[in-house]
């Protein structure tokens, strides 16, 4: 760059001498810019682009080329060119990510990751696979504690944005079980969900369904595990353990950002807006309901067990 500037200045000085004028007059004549009258083409098609002619050459903004061609140009302690990302004109920002079960897991415990848009197109890796494993399950990224320690989970979005999350894995332990679960936790919130579920049923011309204590206990016990996907065997075995011998269907929803007062409404709205979950709530064979809710590190886990005494539990 310095060599090019030196050559440019020498040219200006020589022009000044040859023209018999001063340096400033020569520089003004040499560097005068005019709007370009040339037509520009992209892939054989004419495009409109702001350009200027200086000393017989066309000059355009690098940002405009990035915008037209499809690569990013931005300022970040210097001009940055990223040919792997579409044009935004701004520097990539960090991806905001999280874990449904928080940032502390037991060895053997699994948790789905909270990634914008689900993250199916993201690249997700573990900084230390000996401590924390990462895999995709049914379109979701899931982490699992392998051994005690701390590991970064690293993310790269399709547009090049990056982020990371520190996960600590504790010594071998078991998740909350029937013996230690507080089956009366969040009881008022759970009752609010029961009321709203029955309101939905009545809006669709169905009768209200009463709470079943065995299903209430089983659903709350299941909630303490903070599962983010269905485990039919575990659900059925918990129902049997709490004294419900029949078949049932289960809804679950996991979300962030809701207050304790608004959690019941959010949970039921999530189910209403999902055709499969709505069908579960509106099952005409339903004759008992159970609800389990756990709120942990800003995440709400809600489970609805819809009992049907006319059906069987496959693990009975």
The CA angle 111-115-120, to the nearest 5 degrees, is: 95
Contact 19, 26 (CB under 8 A): yes
Among the residue ranges 137-146, 200-209, 219-228, 233-242, the one predicted with the least confidence is 137-146
What are φ and ψ of residue 149, in 5° steps? 150, -170
Q: Is the pLDDT of residue 11 over 80?
A: no
Other C-beta atoms closer than 10 Å to the C-beta of 89 total 11
Q: Is the pLDDT of residue 161 over 50?
A: yes
Q: At what angle do helices 213-223 and 232-241 cross, to 10 degrees?
A: 130
pLDDT digits (tens, 9 = 90+) for 244-288: 999 999 999 999 988 889 999 999 999 999 999 999 999 999 999
pLDDT digits (tens, 9 = 90+) for 105-145: 888 888 888 777 667 788 899 999 999 999 987 777 889 88
Q: Is the pLDDT of residue 2 over 80?
A: no
What number is the average pLDDT over the span 211-225?
91
Residue 1 has a pLDDT of 41
Question: How far are the Cα atoms of 30, 56, 80, 105 from residue 16, in angstroms, in the given order?
Answer: 10, 19, 37, 75
Q: How many residues does the chain have?
A: 316
Q: Is the pLDDT of residue 165 over 90?
A: no
What are φ and ψ of residue 153, in 5° steps? -100, 125
Please give the Cα distance from 218 to 240 (Å, whole number). 8
Please give the Cα distance from 208 to 288 (Å, whole number). 10
Among the residue ranges 21-25, 154-158, 190-194, 312-316, the one predicted with the least confidence is 21-25
In 3D space, the residue among 110, 134, 111, 132 whose CA is nearest the CA of residue 122 turns out to be 134
Confidence category of residue 4, pLDDT binned at 50, 70, 90: very low
Other C-beta atoms closer than 10 Å to the C-beta of 104 total 15
What are φ and ψ of residue 100, in 5° steps? -60, -35
Q: Which two tokens stand for residue 165?
A: 């999350």
User: Chain-wide mean pLDDT for the chain?
Assistant: 81
Residue 173 has a pLDDT of 47
Within 170-262, residue ranges assigned H as helices are 187-203, 213-223, 232-241
Residue 10 has a pLDDT of 34
What number is the average pLDDT over the span 236-240?
90
Helix then strand then coil, % of the chain, to nearest 5: 30, 35, 35
Residue 90 per-residue DSSP state: S
Contact 68, 42 (CB under 8 A): yes
Residue 86 makes CB contacts below 8 A (sequence gap 6+) with 70, 71, 72, 159
Confidence category of residue 92, pLDDT binned at 50, 70, 90: low
Confidence category of residue 95, pLDDT binned at 50, 70, 90: low
Confidence category of residue 9, pLDDT binned at 50, 70, 90: very low
Residue 93 has a pLDDT of 58
Whole-model pTM: value is 0.50
Q: Is the pLDDT of residue 37 over 70?
A: yes
Question: What whole-number percentage of the chain has pLDDT above 90?
Answer: 34
Please give the Cα distance from 13 to 23 (Å, whole number). 6
Residue 8 has a pLDDT of 33
Q: Is the pLDDT of residue 5 over 50?
A: no
């Amino acid at each position: 760059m310095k060599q090019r500037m030196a050559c440019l200045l020498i040219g200006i000085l020589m022009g000044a001498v040859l023209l018999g004028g001063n340096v400033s007059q020569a520089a003004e004549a040499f560097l005068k810019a005019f709007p370009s009258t040339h037509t520009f083409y992209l892939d054989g098609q004419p495009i409109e682009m702001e350009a200027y002619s200086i000393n017989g050459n066309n000059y355009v903004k690098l940002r405009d080329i990035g915008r037209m061609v499809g690569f990013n140009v931005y300022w970040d302690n210097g001009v940055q060119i990223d040919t792997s990302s579409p044009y935004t004109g701004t520097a990539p920002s960090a991806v905001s990510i999280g874990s449904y079960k928080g940032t502390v897991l037991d060895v053997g415990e699994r948790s789905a990751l909270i990634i914008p848009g689900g993250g199916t197109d993201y690249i997700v890796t573990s900084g230390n696979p000996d401590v924390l494993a990462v895999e995709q399950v049914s379109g979701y990224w899931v982490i699992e504690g392998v051994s005690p320690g701390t590991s970064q989970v690293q993310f790269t979005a399709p547009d090049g944005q990056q982020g990371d999350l520190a996960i600590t894995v504790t010594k071998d332990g078991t998740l909350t079980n029937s013996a230690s679960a507080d089956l009366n936790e969040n009881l008022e919130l759970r009752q609010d969900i029961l009321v709203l579920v029955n309101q939905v049923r009545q809006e669709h011309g169905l009768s209200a369904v009463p709470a079943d204590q065995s299903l209430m206990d089983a659903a709350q016990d299941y909630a303490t595990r903070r599962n983010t996907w269905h485990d039919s065997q575990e659900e059925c075995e918990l129902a049997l353990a709490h004294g419900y011998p029949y078949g049932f269907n289960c809804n679950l929803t996991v979300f962030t950002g809701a207050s304790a007062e608004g959690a019941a409404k959010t949970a039921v709205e999530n189910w209403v807006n999902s055709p499969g979950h709505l069908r579960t709530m509106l099952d005409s064979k339903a004759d008992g309901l159970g609800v389990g809710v756990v709120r942990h590190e800003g995440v709400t886990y809600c489970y609805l067990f819809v009992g049907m005494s006319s059906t069987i539990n496959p693990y009975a």
